[in-house]
Chains A and B, each alone.
Chain A
Amino acid sequence: MNFKTMSLISAVALALPTLGMADADDDTLVINEEIEMTTKAAAPAHLDGALGDKVMSGWHFRSDETQAMEMDDFDNPGMLGVEDGEVIWNTVEGSEGKSCASCHGESSEMAGVKATYPKWNDGAEEVRTLQMQVNDCRVNQMGAEAYGYDKGGALPLEALLSSVSRGMPVNVAIDGPAQSTWEQGKDIYYTRFGQLNLSCANCHEDNYGNMIRADHLSQGQVNGFPTYRLKNTKLNGSHSRFKGCIRDTRAATFNPGSPEFVALELYVTSRGNGLSVEGPSVRN
Chain B
Amino acid sequence: MTFSRRDTLALGAGAVAFSFMPFQVSAAADEAIAAFTGGAEVAEGGITLTAPEIAENGNTVPVSVDASGAMSILLLATGNPTPGVATFNFGELAGSQSASTRMRLAGTQDVVAIAKMADGSFARAASTVKVTIGGCGG
Direct contact of A and B (CB under 8 A): yes
CA distance A108 to B59 in the complex (A): 33
Answer whether A214 and B132 are a contact pair too, CB < 8 Å, given A10-B11, A63-B52, A244-B138.
yes
Given A14, A65, A215, A231, which contacts B14 in the complex, CB threshold below 8 Å? A14
Give the residues in chain A near B7, CB-CB below 8 Å.
3-4, 7
Interface size class of A (residues with CB under 8 A): 20 to 34
Give the residues in chain A near B11, CB-CB below 8 Å.
3, 6-7, 10
Whether the pair A13, B21 counts as a contact (CB closer than 8 A) is yes
**A183 sits at the interface (CB 8 A):** no
* Interface CB pairs A-B, < 8 A, 26: A3-B3, A4-B7, A6-B11, A6-B14, A9-B14, A10-B18, A11-B10, A11-B14, A14-B13, A19-B132, A63-B52, A65-B55, A65-B62, A66-B56, A69-B62, A212-B136, A214-B132, A215-B134, A230-B56, A230-B57, A230-B60, A231-B57, A231-B134, A232-B59, A247-B138, A284-B57
Whether the pair B59, A230 counts as a contact (CB closer than 8 A) is yes
Docked complex: B1-51 residues within 8 A CB-CB of A: 1, 3, 7, 10-11, 13-15, 17-18, 21
Whether the pair A214, B133 counts as a contact (CB closer than 8 A) is yes
CA distance A9 to B1 in the complex (A): 18
CB distance from A224 to the nearest CB of B (A): 15
Whether the pair B13, A233 counts as a contact (CB closer than 8 A) is no
Chain A residues at the B interface, C-beta cutoff of 8 Å: 3-4, 6-7, 9-11, 13-14, 17, 19, 62-66, 68-69, 212-215, 217, 229-233, 241, 244-245, 247-248, 284
Whether the pair B59, A233 counts as a contact (CB closer than 8 A) is yes
Whether the pair A284, B14 counts as a contact (CB closer than 8 A) is no
CA distance A232 to B138 in the complex (A): 11
Answer whether A241 and B10 are a contact pair too, CB < 8 Å, given A13-B18, A231-B59, A233-B59.
no
CB distance from A113 to the nearest CB of B (A): 29
Q: With contacts A10-B13, A10-B17, A284-B56 known, what are 5 further pairs, Cβ within 8 A? A: A7-B11, A17-B130, A63-B52, A212-B135, A230-B60
**B54 sits at the interface (CB 8 A):** yes
CB distance from B46 to the nearest CB of A (A): 25
Give the residues in chain A near B134, CB-CB below 8 Å.
213-215, 231, 284
Give the residues in chain A near B18, CB-CB below 8 Å.
10, 13
Whether the pair A248, B14 counts as a contact (CB closer than 8 A) is no
Whether the pair B138, A248 counts as a contact (CB closer than 8 A) is yes
CB distance from B60 to the nearest CB of A (A): 4
**B91 sits at the interface (CB 8 A):** no
**B120 sits at the interface (CB 8 A):** no
Give the residues in chain B near A231, CB-CB below 8 Å.
57, 59, 134
Whether the pair B1, A213 counts as a contact (CB closer than 8 A) is no
Whether the pair B14, A63 counts as a contact (CB closer than 8 A) is no
Q: What residue in chain B is nearest A284 (Cβ atoms)? A: B56
Greatest chain A CB density within 10 A among B21, B54, B60 is at B60
Answer whether A63 and B56 are a contact pair too, CB < 8 Å, given A6-B11, A13-B18.
yes
Whether the pair A213, B62 counts as a contact (CB closer than 8 A) is no
CA distance A241 to B134 in the complex (A): 14
Q: What residue in chain A is nearest B56 (Cβ atoms)? A: A284
Answer whether A213 and B17 are a contact pair too, CB < 8 Å, given A19-B54, A66-B56.
no
CA distance A212 to B135 in the complex (A): 5
